[in-house]
Amino acid sequence: MKIDRAELRVVSLPLLKPFRTSFGVMTEKNFVLLRLFGEGLEGVAEGVMDIRPDFREETISGALALLQDTVLPDLLGRDWANPEQVMRQLSGVRGNRMALATVEMAFWDLWSRSLERPLSTVLGGVREAVPVGVSLGIQNSVKATVDSAVAHAEQGYRRIKLKIQPGWDVAVVRAVRAALPETPVTVDANAAYSLANLNTLRELDTLGLDYIEQPLAWNDMRDHAKLQALMGTPLCLDECITTAQDARKALETEACRLVNIKVGRVGGHLEARRVHDVAAAFSAPVWCGGMLESGVGRAHNIHLATLENFSKPGDTSSSSRYWARDLIHEPLETVGGMMPVPAGHGIGVTLDLPFLDTITQQKFALGPLQQPVAGR
């Protein structure tokens, strides 16, 4: 599979309503979109790094520089047998998992389309639809949170996840549990707590949660292991896990009992599949997390979540919850708490180019032995 040329864009897609977490409030999703072209086909992926290094250490500006100056020039104008060969070529790049994932995922899409097969099939998936939960940002009141949780449960979502932070935790979780005693409920702290908050975390432990996601520091497995030993509720790690080795260490030391796999966070589908397999070896379930992706990233997530050990509902809820208009033609909507896998080759979605042009902030075209050419 020869990669003839590439196009990088920085895109700003407005959210339907603000999404608040312990990091702050988002009103639009800014991201890198990569298109790879080869043999008359196109593969596409989006980067999950943010403008600021608040989730992990990567940023949009840093990723753009790395992709334009180092990564893509190594790949363009050359033939590649499979994604494994592409990643071996890039193995000398340390860290920068999100930037590398953007390239790897776009190549998976391109390669799957050349094989005329869906990405899920090429990855080894076993499902035609995946179970879906919903992630609710921090609301203006406890009542607003309960109302939203109940409404989404009535729509069929199979898990309600609540974003929490110190001061917005026990009361809101207790209220949602009272309103939805039979619905699986989880919380996501995005690393907002420390062991100094142990009393609060122990209160959460009494509320029948399915799991507590990333309560402590983004890079601290040791304290998570200490906390898990004191808790009956399973801990789930997110930010801490960037490789299969991280997953092995976390499960070996009992720093968690299940893992959130975000394909962009771990460096692409190859490493996501390795994390999935390591967790399965420990009989630990996994689920597919989200980063407020557009339809491109959401489609990649759906295909990945067809692998067998994705046994917990993921974050791939309906696109219409987030966007008045997505940047793809195909609707990605849940039915009865299940998200169908997009039909067709590759990731099964196509870009709405006229609309994409209206939300593109920067555009760069790259070809073999060429410098990037800035666009709009």
Q: To which CATH superfamily is domain 5-116+351-374 assigned?
A: Enolase-like, N-terminal domain (3.30.390.10)
**Domains in the chain: boundaries:** 5-116+351-374, 121-340
| CA dihedral of residues 154, 159, 163, 167 (deg, nearest 10) | 80
Domains 5-116+351-374 and 121-340 share a fold: no
**E strand or H helix at 12:** strand 5-21
Is 262 assigned a catalytic role?
Answer: yes
How much is the pLDDT for 376?
Answer: 46
pLDDT in tens, 68-103: 999 999 999 999 999 999 999 999 999 999 999 999
How much is the pLDDT for 370?
Answer: 52
Catalytic residue among 163, 226, 249, 312: 163
Is 143 assigned a catalytic role?
Answer: no
Q: Work out the burial of residue 115: count CB atoms within 10 Å of its CB; fewer than 13 is exposed, 13-18 middle, 19 or more buried.
A: middle
Q: Work out the burial of residue 151: count CB atoms within 10 Å of its CB; fewer than 13 is exposed, 13-18 middle, 19 or more buried.
A: exposed
Residues whose CB is less than 8 angstroms from the CB of residue 52 and which lie 6 or more positions away in sequence, other chains included: 59
Alpha carbon distance 287, 210 (integer Å): 13
Angle, helix 244-252 to helix 269-281, in steps of 10 degrees: 20
How much is the pLDDT for 369?
Answer: 56
Residues lower than pLDDT 50 in the chain:
371, 373, 376
pLDDT in tens, 167-213: 999 999 999 999 999 999 999 999 999 999 999 999 999 999 999 99
Contact present, 83 and 115 (Cβ < 8 Å): no
| The listed CATH number (3.30.110.40, 3.20.20.120, 3.40.50.2020, 3.40.640.10) that belongs to domain 121-340 | 3.20.20.120
How much is the pLDDT for 368?
Answer: 73
Catalytic residue among 29, 262, 312, 363: 262
